[in-house]
Structure 1
Amino acid sequence: MQGTVPGRGRGLPGSEELRNNGVVKNVGEAPQEELATGERSTRNRVARSILDHGPSTVSDLAGRLGLTQAAVRRHLDALVADDVVQPREQRVYGARTRGRPAKVFALTACGRDAFDQSYDKLAADALKWIAEREGGEQAVAAFARARIAAQAGAYRKAVEAVGPEQKTEALAKALSVDGYAATARSAPHPHKGEQLCQHHCPVAHVAEQFPQLCEAETELFAELLGTHVQRLATIAHGDGVCTTFIPRVSKTATNASASTAGRNPA
C-alpha cells in the first residue's frame, strides 16, 4: 500500500528515517549539504509540530521548537515548495483587531499522508470482520476477486491493445501506473517464458494475513494473459519481489485457440 514521490528536491527525510520519527513515506530527497547540517531533521520537526498542534504561525513554531523565526520561515518555504504545507489566513473568532491576521501554515493532503496512517490495520480489521461474520476464508476470497476485478479494466485494455508477444510488458506498464513498479523480462534458462516482477506491493502488509489477495491477483493475470501462470515469490511472504512466471504460448497453441474460439466444445 503506497512509494516515493519523485522530483521534490527538498523535503522530509527518506522513508526509513521518517519511520523513526513517526513518518512512513518519502516526500523527497534533500541536497547533500542539508544532510550534513541536519536540515532535513529540523524540517521534519516543523512538519510534525504542525501535525501535532494544527495550523500554526511562524511565532508558534519558533516557540515550540526553540528556533528563530527566520529559521522557521526558511524551513516553511521549503515545505511549501514540496507541497507538504500550505499557508492560509488565520481564522479570527470574535471582533477583529487592527491589521491583517497572522498567516498560519497547515499540512496539505500530501503532507498528512507522509505521516503514520492506520490504513493497513483498518483493512486487516475489515477483512477479519468479513471472515468472522460473512463466511470465513471463502468470503475473503470473494472480496479479493471483486476488488481486483474492479481494477482490471485498465489492465485488460492495455493487454488487449498489443500482440501476444507484448502482453506481459503491457501488463507490467499498466501495473506500474497503479504503484506496483512492475517489469517484464525473459525467464532464466532453461525455462521458456517470461517473468512478471512487481517490485512494490501497496497491500503487502494486509496480504501477509490474507493470501487471498495474492491468489486473486494471480488468477487475474492468468485470465488477462490467456495462459496458466505460476506465482514464484511474493513480497507478502518475505520475498524481495513478487515474481510470476508466464510460460511462452506457442503459435500452434495460439492458432488452435483462435480456431476454436466461440465453438461449443460439445
Structure 2
Amino acid sequence: MKNSSDTSRGRGEGRAAAEARFEEPADGTTRDRVMSSILHHGPSTAGDLAERLGLTPAAVRRHLSALSENGQVASREERVFGPRGRGRPSRVFFLTDAGRADYYTAYDELAITALKQLAAAAGPDALAKVAQARVDDIEERYRGMRAARPAQDPAQTLAECLSAGGYVATIEPGPAGQQICQHNCPVAEVAKVFPELCDVETRLFSELLGSNVQRLATIAHGDGVCTTHVPVDVEITRRRIAADPPSTSTVG
C-alpha cells in the first residue's frame, strides 16, 4: 500500500513528465529560434516568445538565461503602447551587438575600410553620394509599391518596403502618431562608423511620408531597434483624403 508521500512524489513526477512534453531541450537550435523571433518581432517578453514558438514560459526563460549569460541577449523594463495607450511596464528581451553579429557578414569590415579610403581620397562629398545611392534604391522600391497599392497606409507601405530590403520593419502605435520599427539593419556595423547613412535614410522617410519624422533610436547607436516617429498629422491627412477625395469634375 502506497503512503501519502509516495502518492505526492508520483504526482510530482507526473507533472514534470507532462511539462517536459511541451518543452524543447535547451539546445542551440531552439535558442536560434528564440533569437530569430526577437530579431523579426523586436524586443519581446518571455510570454510573447513562448506563444510564438509553442514553448512554455519556463522553457523560454531558460533559453533567455543562457543567451544572457552568453552576452547575446539583454533585457530592460519597457512600457508598451497599445490601443488603449501606455501599458504597464514589462521586461522585454532584445539582441545585443554580440547577438546580432551572427546575422552580419565579414563584408561589414570590408565596406568600412572601403568607405574610409573613399572619404580620404575623394572627400566627404563622395561619401554623401554613396549614402544617397543606397536610399535611392529604397525610394525606387517604395514608389513602385505605392503605385501598386495607393490606398494602403504610406507608413505601412514604407515598412513593407524596408522589410523587402532586409530591415524587418513593422508599424507600432506610439504617442501622437505611429512608429516605424526596424528590427534589423543590414548596415548597422557600417553606420556606427558612418552615421551619415542613418541621417540620409531619415531624410528620405520625411520626404516619402510628407512629414517631419523623428528618429528616436538606432541599432547603430546601440539601441535594440531603429525607431522612427511618424507624427499623427500624416494619418489624419491620409484618412481625410480617403474619406473625401478631391473632385476631378469640372463645371462648364
1:72 maps to which residue?
none
Instruction: Return the offset for 1:202.
Output: 0.6
Question: Shift in Å at residue 155 of structure 1?
Answer: 1.4
1:151 CA drift (Å) = 3.3
State the 1:131 CA deviation: 1.0
User: Does 2:145 align with 1:145?
Assistant: no
Per-residue CA shift, 1:203-231, capped at 9, x if unaligned? 10000000011111111111111111110
Identity among equivalent positions (%) equals 46
Q: 2:133 aligns to what SS in structure 1?
A: helix
In the TM superposition, what is the alpha-carbon distance from 1:169 to its structure 2 partner? 0.9
Cα distance in structure 2, aligned partners of 1:164 and 1:141: 34
Alpha-carbon contact 2:211-2:231 (below 8 Å) kept: yes
Residues 194, 245 of structure 1: 8 Å contact kept: yes
TM-score by length of 2: 0.51
What's the offset of the Cα at 1:14? 5.6
Matched, 1:131 2:115: no
Distance in 2 between residues matched to 1:166 and 1:252, nearest whole Å: 8
1:183 to 170, 174, 187: 170
1:207 pairs with 2:207: no
- The one-letter amino acid of 2:182's match is Q
Task: State TM-score, norm by structure 1.
Answer: 0.48
Task: Say if 2:153 and 2:238, in contact at 8 Å, map to a contact too.
Answer: no
Alignment of 1:1-266 (within 5 A): 117-136=105-124, 138-163=125-150, 166-188=153-175, 191=176, 193-248=177-232, 249=234, 250-251=236-237
Once the two structures are superposed, residues 2-59 of structure 1 have per-residue CA deviations (whole angstroms, 9 ceiling, x without a partner) of xxxxxxxxxxx56998xxxxxxxxxxxxxxxxxxxxxxxxxxxxxxxxxxxxxxxxxx
SS of alignment partner, residue 195 of structure 1: strand
> Shift of the alpha carbon at 1:117?
4.6
2:237 aligned partner, one-letter code: K
Segments of structure 2 that go 5 or more residues without pairing to the other structure are: 1-27, 33-101, 247-252
How big is the shift at 1:245? 0.6
Q: Structure 2 CA distance, aligned partners of 1:116 and 1:207?
A: 13
RMSD value, Cα: 3.2
Could you say which structure has the higher strand fraction? 2
Compared with structure 1, are the counterparts of its residues 118 and 134 closer, same or farther at alpha carbon in structure 2 (3 Å cutoff)?
Answer: same
CA distance in 2, matches of 1:214, 1:116: 17
Aligned length: 146
Per-residue CA shift, 1:119-148, capped at 9, x if unaligned?
Answer: 001100111011101113x33122101121
Q: Please state which structure has a larger fraction of its residues in helix.
A: 2
Deviation, structure 1 residue 166: 0.7
The runs of 5 or more residues in structure 1 that have no matched partner are 1-12, 18-113, 260-266
- SS of equivalent residue, structure 2 residue 220: helix
SS in 2 for 1:235: coil
Compare CA radii of gyration and give the structure with the larger one: 1
